[in-house]
Structure 1
Amino acid sequence: MKTYGLIGFPLSHSFSKKYFTEKFLNDGIADHQYELYSIENVKSLPDLLSSNESICGLNVTIPHKVSVLPFLNEIEEAAEKIGAVNCICVKRFQGETYLKGFNTDAYGFEKSLTPLLQPQHTKALVFGDGGAAKAVKYVLKKLKIEFQVVVRSVTENAILYSEVTPEILASHKLLINTTPLGMSPNIDTFPEIDFTHIADQHLAYDLVYNPLETTFLLKAAARGAVTKNGLEMLHQQAEKAWAIWNR
């Protein structure tokens, strides 16, 4: 039996187990399973791997995308530049466990965002500055899209929500939520910007996929913006992870 899984805390919002379980069933992949490993402290990772020797690969979600780095033997170049890992390939040699980290969030985000980009999407507002935001910023730099990070507490190289002026909203036509705001069960939360300054030239992208229509997306759509949730990004990054695990 080959086991794959997801580490994070909490994991009540995860679609990964359902996605991979259905994939194994639909593709006729026998002797494979996908489990959820709710670990509050990433220091539990070595014990998890030693007590589950069938684990061949792991996805990583909040809050471990950055804190997992010191536990890895190797990190791919893109993940190293991003500074966050959401996929681990687990290899075992003569009783030793070797962990290599990857970032498939960047791949999934780029694949799902690029078809929606229009000539006016030259500047972006990125809400949040956690592990997911690191992948988003990496892709925006790659696509040569200028960006401004927006956060709730004073941070270097970022502005506060209260500092997002009508002029900034007018000039930044790409809006990206990388925070858990709006995620079930807290579906009434959202990045607190003035939505009256959003129009049909804007593209609002939310990495949240549960619910499929967050309050952020609903408010943006009400102003005529094109909207996109994080479900396709999830699918794209999951397939990339599967390819990595089976190299």
Structure 2
Amino acid sequence: MREFGLIGRTLRHSFSQTYFTQKFDSLNLADHQYELFELVTIDELPALLSKHPDLCGLNVTIPYKEKVWPFLTKVAPSAARVGAVNTIEFTSDGRLIGHNTDMVGFRDSLRSFLSADFRGRALVLGSGGGSKAVEVALRDLGIGYWVVSRNPLGPGLTYDELTPEIMREHLLIINTTPLGTFPDVQECPPIPYNTLSSQHYLYDLIYNPRETEFMKRGQAVGAQTKNGFEMLCIQAEEAWKIWNGEVR
């Protein structure tokens, strides 16, 4: 049996198990399975690994994309560049190597979302592991940005500093926070939604629900919106390549 899985704190929102189970079925891989592993703290990871000796690969989600680093043997250049891990490779000699496929997933998905002549700046809502992958992708695409968080001592802006002028100058708004994830679908990042226009693009890394409150408020004024499902699919396929030795 080849076993794979996802580690995180709360995973009831995740489609990863469904995605990979369907993939295994389509490839007739009856000896493959994908499980969800909820960890109260990342310190539970060693016990999980001991209990599941057939593990061949893991995905990592909130809030462990940065906290998992001390448990790894090494990090691949992709994770080192982003500063966060969302995929763990299990090598034949027992090493755990951290990778990041979120950056590629977001970058390629964003390319298909923005118009060819987009020249605006971006606001990245949140400063966690997902935000770091988004920031690297934006730099690769030549899109300037500010990070927005609740932390007044952070390197970017706070939500209270989002003036109408800043909102007009930043036409791409990316939610990397968990606000709005199922089942708390009524939540959304505290940006001044009354300043949005039909010129804005709202991208939400959340994919469950399909339309978040953040997206709905953008749609109400004619903004373009997109959820994170395509990003999920792209990063999952990149993880699959890593687990099968196709990426080094």
TM-score range relative to shorter protein: over 0.9
In 1: Cα distance, 2:84 partner to 2:182 partner? 24
187-196 vs 142-151, which deviates more?
187-196
Shift of 1:121: 4.0
Counterpart of 1:223 in structure 2 is 221
Partners of 2:101 and 2:238 within 8 A in 1? yes
Counterpart of 1:36 in structure 2 is 36
Counterpart of 1:72 in structure 2 is 72
Give the SS at the match of 1:188: coil
Q: List gaps (5 residues or longer) in structure 1.
A: none
With the length of structure 2 as denominator, give the TM-score of the two structures. 0.95
Partners of 1:105 and 1:132 within 8 A in 2? yes
Shift of 1:40: 1.5
Counterpart of 1:62 in structure 2 is 62
Counterpart of 2:14 in structure 1 is 14
Out of 93, 102, 105, which is 1:105 matched to? 102
Counterpart of 2:235 in structure 1 is 237
Counterpart of 1:181 in structure 2 is 179
Shift of 1:125: 0.4
Shift of 1:197: 1.9
Shift of 1:46: 1.9
46-55 vs 13-22, which deviates more?
46-55
In 2: Cα distance, 1:225 partner to 1:125 partner? 15
Q: List gaps (5 residues or longer) in structure 2.
A: none
Shift of 1:154: 1.2
Runs of 4+ aligned residues of structure 1 deviating over 6 Å after TM superposition are: none
Shift of 1:39: 1.1
Shift of 1:10: 1.1
In 1: Cα distance, 2:92 partner to 2:112 partner? 39
In 2: Cα distance, 1:121 partner to 1:64 partner? 34
Query: Any idea what the Cα deviations from partners look like across 1:35-74, whole Å, max 9, x if unmatched?
Result: 1111122122222112211100000011110000111112
Kindly provide the amino acid, as one letter, of the partner of residue 34 in structure 2: Y
Partners of 1:195 and 1:223 within 8 A in 2? no
Of all paired residues, the percent bearing the same amino acid is: 48
With the length of structure 1 as denominator, give the TM-score of the two structures. 0.96
Partners of 1:120 and 1:201 within 8 A in 2? no
Q: Superposition RMSD on alpha carbons, in Å?
A: 1.1
Give the SS at the match of 2:95: strand
Shift of 1:92: 3.6
Shift of 1:156: 2.4
Report 1:121-132 matches (<5 A).
Answer: 121-132=119-130
Shift of 1:155: 2.9
In 2: Cα distance, 1:240 partner to 1:155 partner? 35
Kindly provide the amino acid, as one letter, of the partner of residue 106 in structure 1: M
27-36 vs 52-61, which deviates more?
27-36
Kindly provide the amino acid, as one letter, of the partner of residue 194 in structure 1: P
Partners of 1:121 and 1:174 within 8 A in 2? no
In 2: Cα distance, 1:52 partner to 1:121 partner? 48
Counterpart of 2:202 in structure 1 is 204
In 1: Cα distance, 2:103 partner to 2:10 partner? 22
Partners of 2:78 and 2:101 within 8 A in 1? no
